Amino acid sequence: MKHIQFILLLSIILFTSCGKETSEVDPGSFTVKGSITDFEKVGLNAPSEAQEINLTGEALTKSLLSVVTGDFEIAVDNGPYSKQATISANMVNRGVKLKVRCIPTSVGELNGILTISGDNLTSITYDLKAAGVEKLLLVSTFSNQRLAFGGGYSQKAEGSFTFNTDPEKVETITMYVKLSCPSEGCNAWDMYANIRLQDPVTEEWFEIGRFITPYGVDNSELPKGLPIDVTDFKSLLTGEVNLRSFIEVWGADGWLLSLDFEVIEGTPDYKYYAVAPLLDYAQHSLSGIPYGVQNDFKLDKCITIPGNAEETTLRTTISGWGHATPNDPDGRPCAEWCFRTHQVLIDENPLFEHTMKGIGCDQNPVKPQFGNWQPDRAGWCPGMEVPVRNDIFDYARAGESFCYKYQLEPWINDMQSTADNKNAYYAITSFIVVKSNTPIDLPVVG
C-alpha cells in the first residue's frame, strides 16, 4: 500500500513540476535600435526614402509581428514591402533591419503607427508622420564639390544643371546645403558663403541663398542640409540652370559642398513669378555697404510694377561683418555683433523694418562646434543659413511706380578699433518679386 502511495505522490510531483516549467519558459527578449523621424513631404503614390531600425533578439523563442497603419509600409531586410511582417525568432536573434517608408494616397498630413510585438513580450510602437504633396522632384546639383583656397582648389565652383520643372505648377522650392569634411578635416572658421544662379537673359548672377560655415565640423545633424526657400526664383529654376557656389574660406582644407533642390508641384499661390534685382553688395563679406562712414554706395532705386501684379514682395538677405568701434553699451562692436534696426523706405516713407539682432545661436542644430559658435551675432549664426527677409506689400501696387531706399540705422565709426579690420560692413542683396495668375513681365527697375 505504501508503495502505491509513493508512486502516486511521485506522479503528482512530476506532473506539477512539468506544468510549472511549461508555463514559465523564458520567451527571450528583443531590442530595437534607431529612430524614425518625420518623413516630411512625399509625392502622391511615390515611395519615400526608407528609414531603418535594427531588431536584435536575445534567446528569442517565438516570432515577432510587425504591423503598420496608414499610408506606410514595412519590409524586413531586402524583402518586399507590405502592411505587416512576421519575423522568425532565428532571424531576429541574428539581427534584422526593419525598413519603413511612406506612399501617400492623399494630400495633407499623414499619420500611422508601427507596432512590433510578440507573445509574452512588451510591444514597441512608433508614431509615423508625413505630408502628402501632389508631386515632389529632387534635383541634385553640386556633389561633394571641394571648395578651398590653395592646394589647387578654388573658393568658387560653377556648373550647369537640368531642372525638369513646370514653374506654373511649382508650389515651393527648397534648397538644401550639405557640408562635409575633406580627409584633412573641415576648415576651422565661420566663413561667409552663398549660392548664385545666372539669369539666362541678362547673364547676371543672383544670390539665391547665403549661409555661414560652422567652426570645424560638418552639418550632418541636418540629414538634408541647411534649408533655404528659393521659391521666389522659380521662373529661373527651370530647364538648364547655371549655378555658382562660393565659400570665402582661407585654407587648403576647405569644405565638400553638396546642393539639392526639393521641388513641390501642385497648386501654387500664383502661377507666375518674375524677379528683378535691386541691390547686390554681397560678392564676399567685406564687399558690403561700409557702415558708419561716408560712402558712395547707391541704396535707392525707382520701380514700376506690371499692371497685372497680384502680389508684390521684397526679398532681402543681409548680414553684418567687422569689429568696428565704438562698442555698444553691452560691449558689442559693429557690424557682426551690434544690434541695429534698418529701414526700407518707399517714396521716403518707412514701410518695413529689418531688425539685426540675435537669432538663437546657442540653439543651433549644428552643435557642438569647435569655436565661438554660441554667442548671438547680428542676424546670423555660424553653421546656419542667413535668414531671408520677405516683406509683402499691403497691396500689389499693380501699374504703379515708386522709389525704394534702404536706410541703415545711423551710427559713426570712430576708427579706434584694435581689431585687424577697423571697418564695419553690411553684405546685402535685395530683389523685387511680383506674382500673378496670368503671365507677368519683369518689374522695371531704374
> How far is Cα 218 from Cα 181, in angstroms, rounded to an integer?
6
CA 268 to chain CA centroid, nearest Å: 21
Q: Annotated catalytic residue: which of 73, 218, 248, 262? A: 248
Alpha-carbon separation of residue 226 from 174, 193, 212, 221, 375 (angstroms): 10, 12, 10, 10, 20
Residue 286: exposure state from Cβ atoms within 10 A (0-12, 13-18, ≥19)? middle
- Residue 344: what residue type? V
Q: Is 21 helix (H, G, I), strand (E, B) or coil?
A: helix
| Residue 166 grid cell | 513646370
Backbone angles phi, psi at 195, to 5 degrees: -125, 135
| Residue 341 grid cell | 534696426
37 close to 98: Cβ distance less than 8 angstroms: no
| Residue 294 grid cell | 561716408
Report the run of H or E that residue 111 belongs to, with start and end.
strand 108-117
Active-site residue, 248 included = yes
Q: Annotated catalytic residue: which of 71, 218, 232, 336? A: 336
Q: Annotated catalytic residue: which of 71, 73, 190, 385? A: 190
What are the percentages of helix, strand and coil residues in the chain, rounded to 5? 10, 45, 45
| Residue 263 grid cell | 521641388
End-to-end alpha-carbon separation of the chain, Å? 121
Report the run of H or E that residue 10 belongs to, with start and end.
helix 2-23
Across 188-307, the runs of DSSP E, i.e. the strands, are 192-198, 205-212, 226-229, 239-247, 255-265, 272-281, 289-290, 300-304
Catalytic positions: 190, 248, 336
